[in-house]
């Protein structure tokens, strides 16, 4: 039950005056899947950037594997934490294999040639994400979903205990959304990776993640097991949206209700619980 990420009293703001994150403290235990959700501008991506060392907190500390983030060199930190952001096509037309191999950079020698171990790890990552078939294709020739899988393959190839993802499925179709979360869950269960994913989809978070951190716009936050934290009241408080809650066996799902949404008329006033047969 090793704590791999420990955040204490984190304060951060981009300018001297304002503060986006106030006094945030939480722990992530190794091998857990944490979702970070909240309204736009609450600071989710900022929190992620703080966790991977790209930003420095104004106050408070962040520890990865018991050492402060600042104490790691870029090389060592990359061996502990792998980050997956929005997919993009690089300026030069690298192939999928070349892109995934870049994850091995912290492990390479002076001239940067991959050893047999490196090659094996890259191949495994390609297999795991089902992108081996694209290995020799240029990134620009793939679809967005395929590219996102390549970026995740790269993160897996880094062989790091922690995976940070920033909205990995935002622009993907349903099949890919589910596919990627399945992939992440497999990585967590089979390889014991700790996963922290920023997401807008609370249902996917509910389905796949063990814990969820809800960041409110005014700086307050709630963290805990998804089944405890996610409730229609909590969601309305943080997101300002009423939801219809349904149950599928033991699991809950939430459907947001807009003013003109078709269901709105049927559920006048308060949120409603309906049992699913």
Q: Applying CB under 8 A, does 101 fall inside the site for other proteins? A: yes
CA distance 4 to 27: 8
Q: Which stretch binds other proteins (CB under 8 A): 59-67, 114-122, 172-180, 186-194?
A: 114-122
- Say how many residues touch other proteins, by CB under 8 A: 46
CA–CA–CA angle 99, 101, 102 (5° rounding): 70
Q: Which stretch binds other proteins (CB under 8 A): 6-14, 21-29, 102-110, 168-176?
A: 102-110
Q: Applying CB under 8 A, does 122 fall inside the site for other proteins? A: yes
Q: Which CB, 88 or 263, lies closer to other proteins?
A: 88
List C-alpha distances in Å: 137 to 97, 124, 134, 170.
8, 18, 5, 24
Chain centroid, CA 241 distance in Å: 23
- What part of residues 135-194 is at the interface with other proteins (CB under 8 A)? 135-136, 140, 158
Q: Which residue has the tokens 């950079």?
A: 105
Q: Which stretch binds other proteins (CB under 8 A): 4-12, 70-78, 214-222, 234-242?
A: 70-78
Q: Applying CB under 8 A, does 28 fall inside the site for other proteins? A: no
Q: Applying CB under 8 A, does 75 fall inside the site for other proteins? A: yes
**To the nearest whole angstrom, how small is the minimum distance from the Cβ of residue 200 to other proteins?**
21
Q: Applying CB under 8 A, does 110 fall inside the site for other proteins? A: yes
Q: 33-62 mask for other proteins (x: CB under 8 A)? A: -------------------xxx--------
From the number of C-beta atoms within 10 Å of its C-beta (0-12, 13-18, 19+), residue 92 rates as exposed
From the number of C-beta atoms within 10 Å of its C-beta (0-12, 13-18, 19+), residue 29 rates as middle
Q: Applying CB under 8 A, does 91 fall inside the site for other proteins? A: yes
Token pair of 139 as six digits: 């990134």
List C-alpha distances in Å: 219 to 11, 83, 200, 236.
10, 24, 18, 16
CA distance 95 to 254: 40
Residues in the chain, total: 277
Q: Which residue has the tokens 């945030």?
A: 24
Q: Applying CB under 8 A, does 102 fall inside the site for other proteins? A: yes
Q: Applying CB under 8 A, does 103 fall inside the site for other proteins? A: yes
CA distance 121 to 256: 42
Q: Which CB, 61 or 98, lies closer to other proteins?
A: 98
**To the nearest whole angstrom, how small is the minimum distance from the Cβ of residue 254 to other proteins?**
32
Which residues form the interface with other proteins (CB under 8 A)?
Answer: 52-54, 73-79, 81-83, 85, 89-98, 100-103, 105-106, 108-114, 119, 122-123, 126, 132, 135-136, 140, 158
């Amino acid at each position: 039950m090793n704590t791999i990420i420990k955040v204490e009293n984190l304060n951060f703001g981009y300018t001297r005056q304002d503060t986006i994150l106030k006094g945030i403290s939480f722990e992530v235990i190794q091998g857990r899947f944490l979702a970070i959700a909240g309204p736009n501008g609450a600071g989710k991506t900022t929190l992620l950037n703080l966790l991977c060392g790209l930003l420095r907190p104004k106050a408070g500390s962040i520890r990865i594997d018991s050492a402060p983030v600042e104490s790691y060199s870029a090389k060592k930190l990359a061996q502990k934490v792998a980050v997956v952001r929005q997919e993009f096509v690089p300026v030069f037309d690298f192939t999928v294999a070349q892109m995934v191999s870049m994850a091995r950079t912290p492990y390479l020698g002076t001239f940067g040639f991959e050893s047999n171990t490196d090659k094996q790890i890259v191949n495994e990552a390609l297999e795991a994400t089902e992108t081996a078939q694209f290995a020799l294709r240029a990134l620009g020739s793939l679809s967005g979903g395929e590219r996102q899988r390549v970026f995740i393959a790269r993160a897996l190839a880094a062989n790091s205990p922690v995976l940070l993802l920033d909205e990995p499925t935002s622009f993907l179709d349903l099949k890919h959304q589910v596919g990627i979360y399945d992939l992440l869950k497999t990585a967590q269960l089979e390889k014991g990776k700790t996963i922290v994913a920023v997401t807008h989809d609370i249902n996917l978070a509910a389905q796949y993640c063990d814990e969820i951190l809800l960041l409110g716009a005014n700086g307050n936050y709630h963290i805990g097991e998804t089944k405890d934290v996610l409730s229609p009241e909590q969601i309305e408080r943080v997101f300002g949206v009423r939801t219809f809650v349904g149950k599928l066996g033991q699991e809950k799902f939430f459907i947001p209700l807009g003013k003109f949404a078709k269901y709105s008329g049927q559920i006048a006033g308060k949120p409603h619980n309906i049992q699913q047969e």
